[in-house]
Structure 1
Amino acid sequence: MVGRIARVRDVRRRLATDGPPWTRPHERDFETVTLPERDCDLVRDLLIAEGVATVVEVGLAYASSALAIGEALVALDPPNPRHVIVDPFQETAYANVGWDLMRDAGLHSIAQLLVEPSSIALPRLLTGGLVADAAFVDGSHRFHEVFVDLYFLRKLVRPGGLVIMDDVWTPSVRTAVRYYERNLGWTPIPEAFAGGSVWLVDGAPVIRCAAFRLPDRLTEPAFEAFHPF
């Protein structure tokens, strides 16, 4: 167990310090795209505190968050750990660099990469009977695609489970999440990312990541019970 955790932490440390072995040809692409190490630590700690066994992740890229999720699963060592990652661009845009890092960390034994759009993968996972304890979402930032991801994750993540969002400082992501808060009873966990990254939006600080607790039961509101968001 100690050796497995040390292996994951070593890959995480090298990634944060030296960057990935390959990046897309855009200036500071890794720094712009990846989740900062401190936020990754907070994701890991939150998942450990929740005692998760199955996690769905939307978006892999350079694998910073995926490695943190993997570290949580290795530390918890549940009987059947499972980490399902959805990223249609891992091969074509990222040359599999994120998945190679997962393999370097020895996490490929508990992780599964689905190289297809989340709008296709998530409903298929739901049909297949997958039940997750938590989800981490850092995929498309288009409003309609974020909204659809959350629609299916609401059904994939067990009642009372967690959905963790990256880039809630962006209007599209923040607006999509707000629907689920105001209409479906998702509860923010403000302390989860206290001390994490902050962006300035219209001069006001907004946290980069946010965690939400799903209601204890999956129920549908009445048609007329709609709250603008």
Structure 2
Amino acid sequence: MTTRIRETRRRLAREGPVRTRPVERDFETISLPEADCDRLRDLLLAERAETVVEVGLAYGSSALAIGEALVAAGRPRPRHVVIDPFQRSIFSDAGWDVLCAAGLAAISELLTEWSSTALPRLLAGGLVADAAFVDGSHRFHEVFVDLYFLRKLVRPGGLVVLDDTDAPSVGAAVRYYERNLGWTEIPDAFAGGTAGRCRAYRLPAAVTEPPFEDFVP
């Protein structure tokens, strides 16, 4: 099955999706580049991740990399929860269709709603993830809320990976968690990829709440 996924990934990177939004070079602009997808896959594979939450699907490049890692890890119950409120209405299921073409429908679940409502519902349902990949809204307040709930959904010591951290809004949101809540960036996790774009963070071994007086700007 990993061969089928890799072939689908290569074809998507080489030829692009069957359909795109009517925006010039939309796929090339918003999709995670193939080299960064490789590094994301390798991170999750080294983690032996079994459950991964992804915020933002679009054309499916990163989702295929995550699916490849989940299958290759060989864990008994791989699960990929993908959240994208615009997958059907704006992207015409382009990303979901490519996941299905790769044979990943059985381990994938698509939630076509805002992450701000999906993530707390997953938390209330008892989901525990090994890792998360965040590439949804790039508005500061929405990234911040995504990370707030992922901090509770991802197991202690797990991984949170973000795309487009070179955007000031995304970078500022994750810096709060790094400076105040003990998230530790994994050095060189995306070395050789797109400079400054993706960063991976290791969560602390336990969830603790610091006194409000200790806030670090």
TM-score bin (small chain): over 0.9
Decide which of 137, 151, 156 is 1:154's aligned counterpart: 151
Offset of residue 27 of structure 1: 0.4
- Looking at structure 2, the residues matched to 223 and 38 of structure 1 have their Cα atoms a distance apart, in angstroms, of 40
Q: State the match for 1:222 in structure 2.
A: 211
The answer for the alignment partner of 2:102 in structure 1 is: 105
Which of 68, 90, 94 in structure 1 is aligned with 2:87?
Answer: 90
Cα deviation code 1:104-131 (max 9, x no counterpart): 0000100000000000000000000000
**2: CA distance, partners of 1:77 / 1:117:** 30
Separation in structure 2 between the aligned mates of residue 74 and residue 197 of structure 1, nearest angstrom: 25
Partner of 2:173: 176
Q: How many Å separate the matches in 2 of 1:138 and 1:105?
A: 21
Residue in 1 that maps onto 2:18: 21
Q: Which amino acid in structure 2 is aligned with residue 212 of structure 1?
A: Y
Q: Could you tell me the TM-score, scaled by structure 2's length?
A: 0.99
Task: Give 1:190's aligned residue.
Answer: 187
Alpha-carbon distance in 1 for matches of 2:214, 2:166: 27
Whole-angstrom distance in 1 between the partners of 2:71 and 2:159: 19
CA offset digits 1:62-112 (Å, max 9, x no partner): 000000000001101210000000000000010001000000000010000
Q: Does 1:118 align with 2:115?
A: yes
Aligned to 1:202: none
Cα distance in 1 for partners of 2:16, 2:22 equals 14
Q: Aligned-residue CA RMSD in angstroms?
A: 0.5
What number of residue pairs does the alignment pair up?
217
Equivalent residue number for residue 5 of structure 1? 2
Aligned residue among 24, 28, 32 for 1:31:
28
User: What pairs with 1:39-78 in structure 2 (closer than 5 Å)?
Assistant: 39-78=36-75
- Structure 1's unaligned 5+ residue stretches are 199-206
Distance 1:216 1:92 in 2: 39
Query: Which structure 1 residue ranges, 4+ long, deviate > 6 Å from structure 2?
Result: none
* Structure 2 gap segments, 5+ residues each: none
Partner of 1:193, secondary structure, is: coil
Within 2, Cα distance between the matches of 1:194 and 1:11? 24
- Tell me the TM-score normalised to structure 1 length: 0.94
1:211 correspondence with 2:208: no
